[in-house]
Amino acid sequence: MKKKEEKTNVMRLLDQHHILYKSYCYVDTNAISGVEVAQVLHQNEAQVFKTLVTIGNSRNHYVFMIPVAEELDLKKAAKAVGEKNIEMVKSKELLPLTGYIHGGCSPIGMKKPFATTIDESAKNFETIIFSAGKIGYQVEVELEALKGIVAYHLSDVIVK
């Protein structure tokens, strides 16, 4: 069942930067998993990415985008951003830090920009799909076009 499409702040920011995107809207079924989102949208789960926020020993925050069926390798992730160790930010800290809630976190439009790393598997696709900043909404954006709004680099950061 589809719900009425509305523009999220992420979509408005993409519009402002003249970045083409395709939006997806699905019924919120109590923050279903990313894999279930890919299934509901009939998309390849390797092309649908989740946004994870971490904190390093330096107390700096880092954003990682990885395929929804994968797990972040904290050692690889720390190495990718030049930290000795990193850990996931606690759910209760996510909203005040980013402006997003768990399940609706997007790398676009956070309260402040954080160093962002996208798993290198993203280069296997012309576009990637990720949260539009609200549960029930996703956007599909060309990886290259995403550079116009998010400063990111690619690195191998998933558990193999």
Question: 125: burial class by Cβ within 10 Å (0-12, 13-18, 19+)?
Answer: middle
Per-residue confidence (pLDDT) for residue 87, from 0 to 100: 97
Residue 86 has pLDDT above 80, yes or no: yes
Per-residue confidence (pLDDT) for residue 1, from 0 to 100: 38
Length of the chain in residues, anyone? 160
Model pLDDT for residues 114-148, shown as the tens digit of each residue = 999 999 999 999 999 999 999 889 999 999 999 99
Average per-residue pLDDT in the chain? Answer: 92
Residue 100 has pLDDT above 80, yes or no: yes
Per-residue confidence (pLDDT) for residue 30, from 0 to 100: 56
Look at the block and give the residue holding tokens 């209760």. 92
Per-residue confidence (pLDDT) for residue 43, from 0 to 100: 93
Per-residue confidence (pLDDT) for residue 89, from 0 to 100: 96
Per-residue confidence (pLDDT) for residue 6, from 0 to 100: 82
| Domains present along the chain, CATH in parentheses | 9-155 (3.90.960.10)
Per-residue confidence (pLDDT) for residue 29, from 0 to 100: 58
2-16, 32-46, 135-149: the lowest-pLDDT one:
2-16
SS3 state at 35: helix
Cα–Cα distance measured from residue 113 to residue 115, given in angstroms and rounded to the nearest whole number: 7
Share of the chain above pLDDT 70, in %: 94
Residue 2 has pLDDT above 60, yes or no: no
Cα–Cα distance measured from residue 102 to residue 134, given in angstroms and rounded to the nearest whole number: 9
Pairing of strands 49-56, 86-88: antiparallel
Cα–Cα distance measured from residue 64 to residue 14, given in angstroms and rounded to the nearest whole number: 19
Tell me 124's DSSP state. G
pTM for the structure as a whole: 0.93
